[in-house]
Structure 1
Amino acid sequence: MEPAPDCSACRDGDALGFDFSMAFQPIVEPGARRVFAYEALVRGLDGSGAAGVLANVTPSNLYRFDQACRLKAVSLAARLGMQTRLSINFMPNAVYQAATCLRATLATARRQGFPTEQLMFEFVEHEQAHDITHLASIIAEYRRHGFVTALDDFGAGYSGLALLADIQPDRIKLDMALIRGIDHDPVRRCIVSHTLAMCAQLGVAVIAEGIETVGEWQTLQAMGVELFQGYLFARPGFECLPEVQWPEAVPAAG
């Protein structure tokens, strides 16, 4: 049963009126031949894509939906016996009070026996954050609890240099638009190379998402990227932890 909302943004908003589930896609470290984390991705109850679920989200149920996503992800991860980090997406504009919004997440993790230190939070700016100060306070609160934070889709939309200048997360995820065909594209290699150098100076680690070919993975690995996510390694598994398919070029575990 969904816990009673502690925050007026959830309490006073509309009930969801719909249900959903989650798929999980691994973020891998091929150099160590291990799974670093699983990202929780919204899915319909029949395993259908996120679009059908998100079409039901409105400004009046946004806060409650964001909270429900967190609780669903943690509960499923615990049920599946996840041993790695769990990466949960959140929408900054759906976080009213960071400490209060975290309370139900932490309570669910403890009740389900999922270690809170394994939680990781990704935020994405498909819409511009209304208040950078508020976003900074969210990140600060998550860090206070020891959580890893990541900026998703870096290089697309509002997730760019200006935001990175104001908010330095622990990690960024390079958008797949920068990744696609990078092994054959000197312009993309130049952009990513300088992005990696910048992040190294800022102390921000990099994850490359949307990896589909061995060439893309090997090119980025040679450039210094260690963490990857994409169909090359595994497609999202609906309500399960999919097995990673290591390319032949990945050295066997020693």
Structure 2
Amino acid sequence: MSPAHELQDVENAGRAPSLPALGAQLDEVAARFERAGAFGLLALRVPELAPIERDYGVDARRAVFGRLAELAAKLGVEQLDIEDLVLAGEPGLDEIVVIVFREAESGRFLRDELPAYERAFRRELAARGGRVLYPYGRSEPQLASGIGVAVRNPKLGIDTQLRRALAEAHDDLDLNVRSEARARRRRMLDVVLDRRVTSVYEPIVAVESKTVFGYEALARGPQGTELHSPLAMFRTAEEEGLVFELDCLCRASGLKGAVGLPEGTKLFLNIRPTTIHDPNFRAERLIRTLDECALSPSDVVFEVSEQESIANFEAFKEIRDYYRDLGFQFALDDTGAGYAGLEALVEISPEFVKVDRSFVSGIDQDPTRRTLLAALQDVCSGSNARIIAEGLDTLEELETLGELGIAFGQGWLFGKPTPLRATDDATRS
């Protein structure tokens, strides 16, 4: 039997192909164990599957697990011997179990082969990024792993030895998870305490004149680490209770990197409901910081997430009133990304409305998107808000925005985010 095992089609809608179950392969495991004399067992889990089932249902979980199973089987063909097995683990664990059968005279399978398979699996997950979890998640999935070993002992039943090896792998997996969590917290603390955050700036362009209207500050963690992307940074910060500290650091970096911003150009800076509790963002200190950066409040637009503003309108109204009295403006971000955008538009009364890329991508070829954006443009015009269309990739999309009277566009059509001035990224890596 090939280690890949043919992935079986499941007729039920929403179900993905699956690996043979460990419980159904016990006789095969026993026979191969008896012939070889030893086996190594690698248990693999992706923790994100449980919340996917909670939020989107069992079919969503099965679909994602099916992608993982297909990847595991593919690697089995490429890396394992024909006697080895790639199986689905115990029901409810969403676990992949890789068993390699070897003679007991060498520990190479423990030292080299199973770790090599695990590393290859991690590389494949990293290469696929958020596509593995899409559309239920967008981040790169995490991987937990553990190894167990059994050497054939005729005094013990094969099922007993398999159970012990599986328990050993689970203990090893749990230990690795705790160890990695501790190391991840240390890395996150290093970022916060050593202020290892830099900013890049994405241009926002006036659709009609094709000139730069402003720049959005985007945070980046240390180059070449898993915390480089803002999504990974904030996800880890949330796990470690460091969101407020990281958020303060990102705002400070966004201002610091904007020194020398061309006169009359807006700086768009992301804020959260807790911003008002940052002592460096209270009136006196904030104005002093702006002076040091050659900026005034009228140069700065605070971006608030549609999702976060809806979660607590009253908190955001307090922030809006406090900073608007100082001369700052506001933009409502991610409008149309799946939340009650019109309610947020009414409650926050922003000067700018940033429309999610899902409304913009392919708008030149999609009458429905054009109709929706035209309707939103009418609403925004009535409230004196101007639209910024995010995710622009083509000149045809830009031309369509002009036909609809959309004021501004943002996206890779105008260039990738870059620093506004020379920074010594090497010292922060």
Match of 1:87 among 259, 268, 278: 268
Partner SS, residue 113 of structure 1: coil
Say which of 285, 296, 321 aligns to 1:115: 296
Deviation at 1:143, TM superposition (A): 1.4
- Match of residue 150 from structure 1: 331
Write the distance in 1 (CA, Å) between the matches of 2:407 and 2:306. 24
TM alignment of 1:176-215, pairs within 5 A: 176-215=357-396
Matched, 1:50 2:226: no
Q: Residue 410 of structure 2 aligns to which amino acid in structure 1?
A: Q
1:217-232 mapped onto 2 (5 Å cutoff): 217-232=398-413
Secondary structure at 1:77 match in 2? coil
1:20 aligns with 2:197: yes
- Deviation of 1:111 after TM superposition, in Å, equals 2.5
Deviation at 1:96, TM superposition (A): 4.3
Q: Secondary structure at the match of 1:56?
A: helix
Paired residue for 1:41? Answer: 218
Return the alpha-carbon distance in structure 1 between the equivalents of residues 376 and 211 of structure 2: 25
- Does the CA contact (< 8 Å) of 2:234 and 2:243 recur in 1? no
Q: In 2, Cα distance between the equivalents of 1:98 and 1:136? A: 17
For residue 100 of structure 1, report the CA deviation from its aligned partner.
7.0
CA contact (8 A) 1:98 1:138 kept: no
Q: Determine the structure 1 residue equivalent to 2:22.
A: none
- Which has the higher mean CA deviation after the structures are superposed, 221-230 or 100-109? 100-109
Check conservation: 2:306, 2:335, Cα contact below 8 A.
Answer: no
Tell me if structure 2 keeps the 8 A contact 1:28–1:35: yes
Greater relative contact order structure (CA < 8 Å, 6+ sep): 1
Contact 1:37 1:87 in 2 (8 A): yes
In the alignment, the residues of structure 1 paired with residue 340 and residue 295 of structure 2 have an alpha-carbon distance, to the nearest angstrom, of 30
Cα distance in structure 2, aligned partners of 1:101 and 1:130: 22
If you compute each CA radius of gyration, which structure gives the higher value, 1 or 2?
A: 2
- 1:102 correspondence with 2:282: yes
Deviations 1:134-155 (A, max 9, x none): 2112111221111121001110
Alignment partners' CA distance in 1, 2:241 and 2:361: 37
The SS at the match of 1:173 is strand
1:31 matched to 2:212: no
Q: 1:241 to 1:207 in 2, by over 3 A?
A: farther
Distance in 2 between residues matched to 1:43 and 1:225, nearest whole Å: 29
- Which stretch of the first structure deviates more once superposed, 221-230 or 59-68? 59-68
Task: Give 1:134's aligned residue.
Answer: 315
The structure carrying a bigger helix percent of its residues is: 2
Q: Check conservation: 2:306, 2:341, Cα contact below 8 A.
A: no
- Quickly say closer, same or farther: Cα 1:159–1:233, change in 2 above 3 A: farther
2: CA distance, partners of 1:173 / 1:167? 13
Contact 2:266–2:301 at 8 Å: present in 1 too? yes
Deviation at 1:220, TM superposition (A): 1.1
- CA shift for structure 1 position 157: 3.3
Query: SS of the counterpart of 2:414?
Result: coil
Inter-CA distance 33–178: structure 2 relative to 1 (3 Å threshold): closer
Alignment of 1:56-95 (within 5 A): 56-58=236-238, 60-78=241-259, 80-83=260-263, 84-92=265-273, 94-95=274-275
Task: Check the 8 A contact 1:151/1:169 in 2, yes or no.
Answer: yes
Name which of 168, 188, 206 aligns with 2:349: 168
Distance across 1 between alignment mates of 2:275 and 2:326 = 16
Match of 1:245 in 2: none
| Cα distance in structure 2, aligned partners of 1:107 and 1:67 | 16
SS at match of 1:219: helix
| SS across alignment from 2:412 | coil
Paired with 1:153 and 1:130, the residues of 2 have a C-alpha distance of: 14
Gaps of 5+ in 1: 1-13, 243-254
Give me the identity figure in percent: 30
Q: Which runs of 4+ in 1 moved over 3 A?
A: 80-83, 96-105, 125-130
Match of 2:217, SS? Answer: strand
Aligned to 2:36: none
